[in-house]
Amino acid sequence: MPVLIAGAGSTGATAALLLARRGIPTIIVDRRSDALTHPAAHVIHGRSLEIWREADPALAERIAGIAPPIESVNLIRWCSDLSGLPLGEIDLASRPEQLVRVKSHSDFLISHIGQHQLMPVLWSALDREPLIDFRRSTRVDSVEQHGDTVTATMSTGENVTARYVVGADGANSELRETAGIEMHGPVLARMGSAFFRAPGLYPADARPLLSWIYQPNFAGVMIAHADDHYVLMNTYLHPDQDVARSREAYWARTLPEVLGHELQFDIVSTGTWTMTSQTAEVFRSGRLLLAGDAAHRFPHTGGYGLNSGVQDAHNIAWKLDAVLSGRSTDRLLDTYEVERRPVINLFARHSVANHFELDSATKYFGVTNRMLQRATTAMSRPPMTLLPGRLAAPLAERITRAGLARTTILASTSWRAQRVRDLVAGNIPGQLAHFVSTGLEFGYRYAGPLVSTEPGEREPAIGSDDVVEYRPNTRPGGRLPHAVINTPDGPRSTLELVETAPTALTVFTFDPAGWTGALGSAADALSPLTTHVVDLESATSPATAIDLYEVGTDGAVVVRPDGHIIWRTSDAADAATSALMETIGRLWLPYFSRIPVVVSRGQAGSF
């Protein structure tokens, strides 16, 4: 078996489906017998849907079809009482001009899809794919590496031999731990959550997507899901507190206090998790590749956890294809960490900044995430860790109540209370980057040995400085901008026209004849790499595409199999081909040229 994948969450499932699309068999195992029912994530980026479309267009459409209309999940609210006047709100639908711009960036929009809705769809796709051997209620107990193979011992007692193992087994990855790979970064909070159904909580047309709740006995956030379901989360300091030790009983008495004693609700599930910003010291150890939560963890503020794992799988898949098909050396897999780590660091900085930026609004009534982190850290160190749980848990409760004591002012009608409310409301608009980060969703960029560097470029090749707004461009390392091309099969996104074979480079240009001729003359020197030319003149709006692609009517944008740009020029083909050949010879052929392969002829326009 070429690839063994540990963990069938969104990262592992995506990796298996992408590899199957490339004709590569996998075994994927998961310790669960059924798909996740307790939603741990709910933000699905348009970029993730583009990646799932590469695996299977029908799958992407199926997932996108689950999402409610974006206009119905637009309200973010801060409050002390769910039925009272809010402290402030952000209405994501209040900027229709921005929504128009966002819709022009992709065939897909950022979507609100609970992980409990997503995972059954992904697991069904795994079950349908004949190249995927999906084994539930199974985990990888140990891995031994032997030269060019890996032997994995399964919890069932079976030994599986594979060429590579993808460790996508979550934040508490056993594969990472057994490989001796440490995680580095701070613990920010311990979190408890309840997933429940409450049909009478809000009218269907007036449900906030998120509600930040601050009360003397409770502080947390509530997320609205489909079919009158919600997730309510709060923090705790010690594992012997009831929210962690007696979860069902805790939430049975807490939900009425927070939601109202008259409300009828049904608890579906409960859970706990640790909020961290941690990254593995390495993403690769020999034939083990870590991905998703096994390689990096983020706060939930920004929605990067699930989506970054999908991106990891995308980066890994074409490179494994190149190596397993004999077209590339194993060294190509080293570029996985080189490319992904800076992007992960960028996402981590942004999500941590979001987490602490909440303090700018809540500090006026004495609740801050910095205070929470200090308390969490203190409870995790001596002398607090030396106390027995029966003493530490009540102490943690008293510390929590003391931290929330000043929220009583939010229920007051005094002039001082109104002043606090005004200060909170004035700082809420500054939270927008927490909920809208299109600049990072589509604008993250790769740097490293496979991507050219343009003269004078000084900014990090990993994303836009403007987090909220994505400004399409063709700088090397970034995702190819989306444009609609008229094809014999109908209108298609330029991203769908990228050749995904691991040795293919796709050339987008308004001069297909010139570039086809020039690249045809250079075919022998390029081997085993191939090129495929796409005519941008077939765009539904050629004038717009000229501005979007930034290379005029003679130049070209060269894209690798995962849709990321490696090189561009505004010069004509005859003048620029030698520079492209030099770039490919310097950056790409060291990974490919020494590998004997038989290159089959591609479609018309390929060489």
pLDDT at residue number 97: 83
**CATH number, domain with residue 327:** 3.50.50.60
pLDDT at residue number 466: 65
What is the mean predicted confidence (pLDDT) over 505-510? 97
pLDDT at residue number 597: 40
Residue 403 vs residue 1, higher pLDDT: 403
Longest Cα–Cα distance in the chain:
81
What count of Cα atoms within 13 Å lies in the side-chain half-sphere of residue 108? 28
Q: Mark whether 308 and 206 lie in a shared domain.
A: no
pLDDT at residue number 433: 80
In a domain, 600, yes or no: no
Give the amino acid at 251: W
Q: Mark whether 289 and 432 lie in a shared domain.
A: no
In a domain, 405, yes or no: yes
pLDDT at residue number 541: 92
Residues 6+ apart with CB under 8 A from 223: 39, 42, 209, 210, 230, 231, 233
In a domain, 607, yes or no: no
What residues are paired with 222 via a beta bridge? Answer: 211, 232
Number of H helices, E strands in the chain: 21, 27
pLDDT at 607 over 70: no
pLDDT tens track for 337-369: 999 999 999 999 999 988 999 999 999 999 999
Please identify, among 411, 436, 461, the residue that sits at the C-terminal boundary of a domain: 436
Count of domains forming the chain: 3
Q: What percent of the chain has pLDDT over 90?
A: 81
Q: Mark whether 152 and 195 lie in a shared domain.
A: no
What's the Cα-to-Cα distance from 172 to each of 65, 346, 545, rounded to whole Å?
32, 22, 45
Residues 6+ apart with CB under 8 A from 130: none
Question: Of 116, 214, 118, which Cα lies nearest the Cα of 424?
Answer: 214
In a domain, 59, yes or no: yes
The encoded tokens of residue 408 equal 């009583």
CA-only gyration radius of the chain, Å: 26
Q: Mark whether 458 and 536 lie in a shared domain.
A: yes
DSSP 320-338: HHHHHTTSS-GGGGHHHHH
pLDDT at residue number 601: 27
Across 11-25, 43-57, 292-306, least confident range: 292-306
In a domain, 604, yes or no: no
In a domain, 605, yes or no: no
Please identify, among 348, 369, 404, the residue that sits at the C-terminal boundary of a domain: 348
What DSSP state is assigned to residue 599?
P
Burial zone of 581 (CB within 10 Å; 0-12 exposed, 13-18 middle, 19+ buried): middle
What's the Cα-to-Cα distance from 488 to each of 122, 378, 542, rounded to whole Å?
30, 64, 17
Say how far apart CA 62 and CA 58 lie, in whole Å.
6
pLDDT tens track for 41-80: 889 999 999 999 999 999 999 999 999 988 888 899 999 9
CB-CB contact of 567 with 514 (8 Å): no
Burial zone of 148 (CB within 10 Å; 0-12 exposed, 13-18 middle, 19+ buried): exposed
Q: Mark whether 261 and 364 lie in a shared domain.
A: yes
pLDDT at 464 over 60: no
pLDDT at 606 over 60: no
Q: Mark whether 523 and 586 lie in a shared domain.
A: yes
pLDDT at 220 over 60: yes
Cα dihedral value 513, 519, 520, 524, nearest 10: 180
Question: Of 95, 98, 73, 77, which Cα lies nearest the Cα of 86?
Answer: 77
Residue span of the structural domain in which 517 resides: 452-592
Q: Mark whether 299 and 394 lie in a shared domain.
A: no
- Give the full edge-to-edge strand order of the sheet including 149-154: 140-146, 149-154, 159-162
Say how far apart CA 320 and CA 334 lie, in whole Å.
11
Q: What percent of the chain has pLDDT over 70?
A: 96
pLDDT at residue number 334: 97
Say how far apart CA 283 and CA 337 lie, in whole Å.
6
What is the mean predicted confidence (pLDDT) over 309-336? 97
Question: Of 8, 106, 127, 102, which Cα lies nearest the Cα of 53?
Answer: 106
Across 23-37, 88-102, 312-326, 574-588, least confident range: 88-102
In a domain, 333, yes or no: yes
pLDDT at 461 over 60: no
DSSP 404-415: HGGGGGGG--SH
CB-CB contact of 9 with 36 (8 Å): yes
Residue 130, helix vs strand vs coil: coil
In a domain, 10, yes or no: yes
Question: Of 250, 238, 358, which Cα lies nearest the Cα of 300?
Answer: 358
pLDDT band at 251 (very low <50, low <70, confident <90, very high): very high
Residue with tokens 């077939």: 538
Q: Mark whether 148 and 163 lie in a shared domain.
A: yes
pLDDT band at 165 (very low <50, low <70, confident <90, very high): very high
Q: What is the mean pLDDT of the chain?
A: 91
Say how far apart CA 39 and CA 270 lie, in whole Å.
10
What residues are paired with 5 via a beta bridge? Answer: 28, 166
Q: Mark whether 10 and 104 lie in a shared domain.
A: no
Residue 530 vs residue 203, higher pLDDT: 530
Say how far apart CA 266 and CA 230 lie, in whole Å.
10
Please identify, among 289, 319, 348, the residue that sits at the C-terminal boundary of a domain: 348
Q: Mark whether 533 and 431 lie in a shared domain.
A: no
Residue 601 vs residue 32, higher pLDDT: 32
Q: Mark whether 216 and 301 lie in a shared domain.
A: no
pLDDT tens track for 484-507: 999 999 999 999 999 999 999 999
Number of neighbouring beta carbons within 10 Å of residue 332 = 21
**CATH number, domain with residue 472:** 3.40.30.120
CB-CB contact of 347 with 302 (8 Å): yes
What is the mean predicted confidence (pLDDT) over 158-180? 95
Percent of the chain as helix, strand, coil, to the nearest 5: 40, 25, 35
Question: Of 109, 110, 118, 111, which Cα lies nearest the Cα of 39?
Answer: 118
pLDDT at residue number 9: 95
**CATH number, domain with residue 371:** 3.30.9.10
Q: Mark whether 479 and 418 lie in a shared domain.
A: no
pLDDT at residue number 432: 84
pLDDT tens track for 300-310: 877 889 999 99
